[in-house]
Structure formats: structure tokens, C-alpha cells
Amino acid sequence: MAPLEITASRADPALLDLPWEKPLEQWPEEILAALPRGISRHVVRFVRVSGRVLAIKEISHTLAQREYETLKVLGRMDVPAVEPFAVVSGRSTPEGEPLDAVLITRHLQFSLPYRGVFSQVSRQDTAHRLLDALAVLLVRLHLNGFYWGDVSLSNTLFRRDAGAFAAYLVDVETGSLHEQLTTGQRQYDLDLARTNIIGELMDLQAGEMFDPEADPVEVGDDLISRYEELWDALTSRERFSADERWRVSERIEKLNALGFDVGELEITTDLDGTTLSIMPKVVDAGHHARRLMRLTGIDAQENQARRLLNDLDQYRADTEQQLEDEEFVAHEWLKQQYEPVVRAVPRSMRSKLEPPEFFHEVLEHKWFLSEQSGHDVSFDETVRHYILNVLIHRPDEKSLVTTETSALPIFNS
């Protein structure tokens, strides 16, 4: 029997206790954690190891090692993707028959595959919100020179983000990194995305999980439109006269509003100095999330951060502290407003929503109750009403682990 080889950034001896001598599809149910997921070309299983949930995908050693290294690079680039955990190779049965290697990634907490999203809500606007998130992810990947080569909803995980969704890359076995993508490479990714997504939505319609009156082709076309709109906003060169220098700041503010930071601008002038041309040189996503982290230490998705910062600004105005230091007011808001709300969630319900998403939903609920009653409803009253009437009915989304492993189908190549 060949020796087992484990490649991991932080080795966990508990990995040795898993039944590597068996094909994944034969692993006993008692060690599996059944999570909702999309269709995969390979056998995928979820297990609990040392208190964490890991996703294990059976694949050739070459592909497993390549995907592991690619995910590590994407992580260093701060691209939203699952975190690689290990590659296990040298597997064989007790009879000496060789088995494929496996790629192990950490399960992304509070995430859902697209089928998990549609199992909860199947409105057409859900598809548009998912594709908005996918378009942002695809633009970020392309800006970083990453060619995906297999864009689809199935290869993406989604986390709630203040009424919208944030998309995370899952499967990168066909992807490749380049210094800069060509227009043809970007276009191929887009064409493939459109084709795959139309097919996935048609499949949902057949399973009565998507509006039968909706047009999957129209939704697929919307992804292309959203991507091109965002790409142009981030990369197009803008010309204006020399006396319109304020448009430089306007362009930066527009990009910030889209959730992107501008690290550098390329500004050129005509020979006679009458016309300026501006183009972003370094563009990073996560503008609001980074600002919120800097001010409060809260780690949130981009839209969640935008929503929380808006509430911070409102708090600053309500308490007449516009002239106070921003960091001082942020600390006060954190202690007086944010933390009391998220601490009010009963321990038994804390796996239903991430704290920033819970706070966002409480803000929405506060507006709804105040509108309904005709007066401003307090945070205390809002939190109590939301927990008893809304949160209690929501499923746990931290890992969505079930004990019903019959819900976990086997998907083969």
C-alpha cells in the first residue's frame, strides 16, 4: 500500500482518522455532514474535523494540487473564494487499488449554493440579485487577471449581504492566472456564463423552483449587461476639459459608491493643456467593508458595511457629533447601538444569520414597524418583535448541517 501524503498549510492530525482507503461515495453516513449544494462533476462530501466543516472533493492528484495552489494565490489577492485546507494523495484500497486524490477546502460559513437560495425563495428578482453578485465577482476576477473557464451558478457560493448577495468562487480547476486578460478571454468567460446560467435556470423551472413565467434567456442577458456596465465604470477612460477638474473627484466618488477603492489614477493632458483624460489604474473592491473594519473592527460584506456605515452616519447626525472625530463616534455607536442589538439574539438562534446581516434586518424591521405604527419604534422594541416574529422562523445558515444524509445525493463525473 502506497504511503498517504497530505499537503496542508496547517496540518491537522485528525485528518488521519478519516477512511481514506475507501472511495468518497462509500464513506459511512455517520461521519458525514449533509449540506445543501449544487451539482458537481465530482463526488463531494462534507465532514466535521476538529470542530470545523470541511468540503472534500475527489479528483486527480494533478488537478487537486493545481486547484489548491490557485486558491492559495487567490486568497493572497483577497479574491472572494473558498479557503484551501489540504490535498490528500497516495490513497489506495486495502487490496492495493489506487484511488484518486482529494482536495479539501473549508466550508464557507453562512453560505448557500444557488439551489439552496431558490429552495427558500424562488422569485425572479432572486435570480437577478444572484447574478448581480456573480457579475461583481467576475469583474473582480478579470481585473486580477484570472480566467475562470467554467463560470456558472453551480461553481459559486452565495452569502446574504444586506438584502443582496455576495458571491464566492468555489471551483477553479479550469481557471488560470494571467498578467492581464485579453478581450477574447473575458468574452469567452461571459459567453460561457450566459450559456450555463440559462441552462441552470431552465433546470430550476423544470423542478418548479423558479418562476415558470420568467425568461431564463433574459436573465442571462442581464448578467452580461451588468458585467459590461461595471467593467466600463471601472476601466473606461474619461475625457473632460481642463476647467472641469472636479470630475476627477466625481469619478472617484462614483467608484467608491460601487464599492471599489482607487489606489492610483492615470491623468494625461492634451499638448495645449485644454483637455484632461482620466483612467483608474489600480482598483480594489471592498471600499465600505474596509472603512467599517478600520472604524469598528466589524468584518462585514460590502453591502452590509454600506448599510452599517449609513446607520453610523445617521447616529452621528442624531447625536449632533458631526464635528467630532469619526473614530470616536464610531466607537460610541458600536457600544451604544450595534453591540446591544446583536447581543440580544438568543444563543440558540445565533447560527441563523451573521451579526451584520442581523443588524441590517433589524434596521429594515425598525423602518417597517415605525411606518406601520406612525411613530419611531425603539431598537429594544424592534429587536424583540423581530426575534419573536421573524428570526425564530428562519433556518440556520451558519452551516446548514442536517442529520438527514439521504438528502445528500452522489454526483459523479
C-alpha grid cell, residue 369: 414597524
Same-domain check for residues 211 and 244: no
Same-domain check for residues 383 and 268: no
C-alpha grid cell, residue 276: 484632461
Rounded to 5°, angle at Cα 296 from 291 and 302: 45
**106-125 tens-digit pLDDT:** 888 878 888 877 766 556 57
C-alpha grid cell, residue 303: 453591502
pLDDT of 167 above 80: yes
Residue carrying the nine cell digits 489506495: 92
CB 248 within 8 A of CB 265: yes
Mean pLDDT along residues 6-17: 84
Same-domain check for residues 323 and 358: yes
pLDDT value for 127: 79
The residue that leads in pLDDT, 411 or 176, is 176
Same-domain check for residues 217 and 249: no
Residue 210 domain-assigned (yes or no): yes
Same-domain check for residues 179 and 211: yes
Residue 97: which CATH number? 3.30.200.120
* pLDDT above 70 coverage of the chain, percent: 88
Q: How many CB atoms lie within 10 A of CB 139?
A: 24
Same-domain check for residues 226 and 116: yes
Number of domains present in the structure of the chain: 4
pLDDT level of residue 407 (50, 70, 90 thresholds): very low
Lowest-confidence range among 204-213, 223-232, 270-279, 374-383? Answer: 270-279
Residue 295 domain-assigned (yes or no): no
Same-domain check for residues 78 and 134: no
Give the residue among 136, 184, 162, 81 at the shortest CA–CA distance from 363.
Answer: 162
Same-domain check for residues 322 and 379: yes
CB 106 within 8 A of CB 52: yes
pLDDT of 337 above 50: yes
- Asked which of 90, 107, 124 is the last residue of a domain, the reply is 107
Question: Which residue segment(s) compose the domain that 29 sits in?
Answer: 5-107
Residue 131, CB-side half-sphere exposure with 13 Å CA sphere: 26
Q: Could you tell me whether strands 146-147 and 111-112 are parallel, antiparallel, or unpaired per DSSP bridges? A: unpaired
Residue 353 domain-assigned (yes or no): yes
The residue that leads in pLDDT, 187 or 214, is 187
pLDDT value for 91: 92
Residue 292 domain-assigned (yes or no): no
* pTM exceeding the 0.85 threshold for the entire prediction: no
pLDDT level of residue 168 (50, 70, 90 thresholds): very high
Same-domain check for residues 275 and 182: no
**343-357 tens-digit pLDDT:** 998 888 888 888 999
pLDDT value for 401: 41
- The span from the CA of 211 to the CA of 268, in Å, is 50
Same-domain check for residues 222 and 309: no
Does residue 147 sit in helix, strand or coil? strand
Looking at every residue in the chain, the average pLDDT score rounds to: 83
- The span from the CA of 192 to the CA of 109, in Å, is 28
Same-domain check for residues 209 and 128: yes
Same-domain check for residues 228 and 275: no
